[in-house]
């Protein structure tokens, strides 16, 4: 069996931490003062080079504070209600405390109300003007020189001590297939002469996934399912071809009524934020059950997301033109807009890291399996949302849209083991002598996503961890 060496990946320390700040000016005219790369926070850890959560980011999550806090004498084990927090450096700003302990401008209190109650979805429903207004207020309050600093200093929890939860209940989960290099590579496994089906360049392909199993839990149990054997008959047993898929998740904010499609020009007003997403996939169950319909039990056992929701606004400095390769068809008019052509794409770096149980025992670091970029999406987030509603389908706050596996054109940019191992035919050679075609019990997969660009302060999207547990 041929092998691929991953030793280079070990030395390849994350580019995010090597990133050098360069901020002579804002990078595009969409930026506002909240994106100013020279803006620093009075929370020192937010200003560290490589900090994922500088004051330019301000992602939100739901969390439970530490049960006992020696500094404040906080000992409220009965308070198990979630609250919404904002990440700043290595701390989380507790918006429940902030709404009562800190003075704000009058128009900010109604925005803090749902967040204080731990209801991020209710805040999402307020719409883009409210999202922008609160972002501006939080950015000013957390920046150096703010009069609110002495009050908000009492509202910070160390990130390492809080328990992070799902940001909101997922209403519906849709997974697209918008990474064209993934579509080509996986298509080639089945149809070497015709990897890309004729609809791909015209319609954003997707399917309705399972919402109930989307979670931030750091573990996933190997699923049972029907597996085809060599003689063509199925058996029921644990999946032997468990895989991950490197994706982004788009959190829908504002609803659209049933029967009222969202035009391209307004599509981004319905996108609240973004997360990294691991669409766990059992390839053997998938291969047997998907004849002829799409993904079902091979996918519905688990989907992992980051607890942090990075707002659409925070992505502004990393917006890029949407460009199709020369000779490819241009989108139909209902999937096209001048804004989308100018700014529809987003430059987001993505990485997959693996640490096996043996690597943990030997205190070896995780190894990077692949790296890619959201610029390789064939369809922009606005096009995915506009297409989803183009038949009148109503999206609701808390719905989640997966982009589909984000692979690049080169082999080391493949966003799944199915591609990296060419369908399990080429084993990966891991540091320490282990090999992998698909995931084994005890393997920990970590997805990382971050944005960096000249003239912008880098931001992180948090991490998505998942350790494979054995079938019971
Ligand atoms: Ca997927």
pLDDT-above-70 percentage for the chain: 92
Rounded to an integer, what distance in angstroms lies between the CA atom of residue 283 and that of residue 421?
Answer: 13
Rounded to an integer, what distance in angstroms lies between the CA atom of residue 375 and that of residue 408?
Answer: 9
What does the pLDDT average to over 353-366?
98
Say whether 240 sits in a helix, a strand or coil. Answer: coil
CA of 397 to the centre of ligand 1 (A): 21
Burial grade of 150 (CB within 10 A; 0-12, 13-18, 19 or more): exposed
What does the pLDDT average to over 23-34?
74
What does the pLDDT average to over 304-308?
98
CA of 248 to the centre of ligand 1 (A): 10
What does the pLDDT average to over 314-336?
97
CA of 416 to the centre of ligand 1 (A): 10
Contact between 270 and 253 (Cβ < 8 Å): yes
Most distant CA pair in the chain: distance in Å? 73
Q: What are phi and psi of 435, to 5 degrees?
A: -130, 155
Q: Is the pLDDT of residue 22 over 50?
A: no
Query: What is the per-residue pLDDT for 10?
Result: 34
Instruction: For residue 344, give every residue at least 6 positions away whose Cβ sits within 8 Å of its Cβ, in sequence order, or none.
Output: 319, 321, 322, 337, 380, 381, 382, 383
What does the pLDDT average to over 454-472?
96
Specify the higher pLDDT residue, 147 or 76: 147
* Segment among 106-110, 279-283, 288-292 with least mean pLDDT: 288-292
Say whether 410 sits in a helix, a strand or coil. Answer: coil
Instruction: For residue 71, give every residue at least 6 positions away whose Cβ sits within 8 Å of its Cβ, in sequence order, or none.
Output: none
pLDDT tens column, 101-155: 999 999 999 999 999 999 999 999 999 999 999 999 999 999 999 999 999 999 9
Query: What is the per-residue pLDDT for 365?
Result: 97
Instruction: For residue 13, give every residue at least 6 positions away whose Cβ sits within 8 Å of its Cβ, in sequence order, or none.
Output: none
Catalytic residue among 35, 181, 182, 371: 182
CA of 378 to the centre of ligand 1 (A): 15
174 strand-pairing partners: 208, 401
CA of 277 to the centre of ligand 1 (A): 9
Instruction: For residue 385, give every residue at least 6 positions away whose Cβ sits within 8 Å of its Cβ, in sequence order, or none.
Output: 250, 252, 262, 267, 268, 270, 271, 395, 401
Rounded to an integer, what distance in angstroms lies between the CA atom of residue 30 and that of residue 212?
Answer: 36
Rounded to an integer, what distance in angstroms lies between the CA atom of residue 340 and that of residue 394?
Answer: 22
Q: How far is CA 280 from the centre of its chain?
A: 14
CA of 37 to the centre of ligand 1 (A): 34
Burial grade of 22 (CB within 10 A; 0-12, 13-18, 19 or more): exposed
Rounded to an integer, what distance in angstroms lies between the CA atom of residue 22 and that of residue 33?
Answer: 17
CA of 403 to the centre of ligand 1 (A): 7
Q: Is the pLDDT of residue 179 over 70?
A: yes
Instruction: For residue 361, give every residue at least 6 positions away whose Cβ sits within 8 Å of its Cβ, in sequence order, or none.
Output: none
Counting Cα atoms < 13 Å in the Cβ hemisphere of 410 gives: 7
Q: How far is CA 193 from the centre of its chain?
A: 33
The Cα-based distances of 419 to 121, 188, 282, 410, 415 in angstroms read 36, 10, 14, 11, 7
Query: What is the per-residue pLDDT for 24?
Result: 39
Using DSSP, how many helices (H) and how many strands (E) does the chain show?
14, 29
pLDDT tens column, 228-270: 999 999 999 999 999 999 999 999 999 999 999 999 999 999 9
The overall pTM is greater than 0.75: yes
CA of 404 to the centre of ligand 1 (A): 4
CA of 244 to the centre of ligand 1 (A): 9
Contact between 251 and 434 (Cβ < 8 Å): no
Query: What is the per-residue pLDDT for 15?
Result: 34
CA of 210 to the centre of ligand 1 (A): 12
Residue owning tokens 């999550």:
61
Contact between 267 and 254 (Cβ < 8 Å): no
Say whether 278 sits in a helix, a strand or coil. Answer: strand
Rounded to an integer, what distance in angstroms lies between the CA atom of residue 397 and that of residue 413?
Answer: 32
Indicate if 182 belongs to the active site: yes
Query: What is the per-residue pLDDT for 5?
Result: 41
Query: What is the per-residue pLDDT for 66?
Result: 84
CA of 23 to the centre of ligand 1 (A): 36
CA of 469 to the centre of ligand 1 (A): 21
What does the pLDDT average to over 171-192?
95
CA of 278 to the centre of ligand 1 (A): 8
Rounded to an integer, what distance in angstroms lies between the CA atom of residue 28 and that of residue 49?
Answer: 22
pLDDT tens column, 360-402: 999 999 999 999 999 999 999 999 999 999 999 999 999 999 9
Contact between 340 and 382 (Cβ < 8 Å): yes
What does the pLDDT average to over 275-285?
98
Q: How confident is the model at residue 28 (pLDDT cuts 50, 70, 90)?
A: confident
Query: What is the per-residue pLDDT for 472?
Result: 86
User: Domains in the chain, please, with CATH?
Assistant: 31-165 (2.30.30.230), 173-469 (3.90.850.10)
- 274: closest CA among 167, 115, 178? 167
């Amino acid at each position: 069996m041929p092998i691929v060496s991953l030793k280079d990946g070990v030395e390849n320390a994350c580019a995010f931490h090597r990133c050098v700040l360069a901020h002579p000016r804002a990078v595009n005219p969409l930026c506002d003062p909240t994106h100013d790369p020279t803006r620093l926070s009075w929370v020192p850890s937010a200003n560290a080079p490589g900090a994922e959560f500088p004051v330019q980011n301000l992602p939100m999550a739901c969390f439970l504070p530490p049960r006992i806090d020696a500094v404040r004498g906080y000992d409220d084990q009965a308070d198990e209600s979630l609250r919404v927090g904002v990440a700043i450096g290595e701390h989380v700003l507790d918006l429940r405390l902030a709404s009562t302990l800190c003075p704000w401008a009058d128009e900010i209190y109604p925005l803090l109300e749902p967040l204080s109650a731990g209801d991020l979805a209710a805040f999402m429903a307020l719409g883009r003007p409210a999202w922008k207004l609160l972002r501006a207020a939080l950015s000013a309050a957390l920046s150096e020189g703010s009069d609110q600093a002495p009050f908000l200093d009492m509202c910070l929890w160390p990130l390492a001590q809080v328990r992070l939860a799902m940001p909101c209940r997922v209403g519906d989960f849709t997974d697209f297939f918008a990474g064209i290099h993934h579509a080509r590579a996986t298509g080639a496994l089945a149809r070497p002469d015709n990897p890309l089906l004729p609809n791909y360049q015209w319609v954003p392909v997707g399917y309705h996934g399972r919402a109930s199993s989307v979670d931030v839990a750091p573990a996933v149990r190997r699923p049972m399912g029907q597996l085809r054997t060599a003689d063509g008959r199925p058996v029921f047993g644990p999946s032997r071809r468990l895989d991950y898929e490197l994706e982004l998740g788009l959190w829908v904010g504002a609803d659209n009524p049933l029967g009222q499609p969202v035009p391209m020009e307004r599509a981004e007003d319905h996108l609240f934020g973004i997360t990294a997403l691991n669409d766990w996939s059992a390839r053997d169950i998938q291969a047997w059950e998907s004849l002829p319909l799409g993904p079902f039990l091979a996918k519905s056992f688990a989907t992992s997301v980051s607890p942090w929701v990075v707002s659409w606004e925070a992505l502004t400095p990393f917006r890029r033109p949407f460009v199709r390769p020369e000779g490819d068809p241009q989108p139909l008019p209902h999937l096209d807009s001048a804004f989308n052509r100018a700014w529809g794409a987003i430059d987001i770096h993505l990485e997959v890291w693996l640490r096996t149980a043996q690597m943990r025992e030997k205190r070896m670091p995780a190894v990077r399996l692949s790296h890619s970029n959201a610029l390789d999406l064939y369809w922009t987030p606005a096009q995915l949302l506009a297409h989803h509603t183009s038949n009148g389908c109503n999206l609701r706050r808390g719905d989640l849209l997966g982009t589909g596996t984000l692979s690049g054109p080169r082999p080391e940019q493949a966003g799944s083991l199915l591609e990296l191992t060419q369908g399990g035919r080429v084993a990966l050679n891991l540091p320490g002598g282990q090999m992998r075609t698909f995931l084994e019990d005890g393997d920990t997969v970590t997805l990382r996503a971050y944005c960096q660009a000249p003239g912008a302060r880098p931001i992180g999207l948090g991490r998505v961890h998942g350790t494979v547990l054995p079938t019971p």
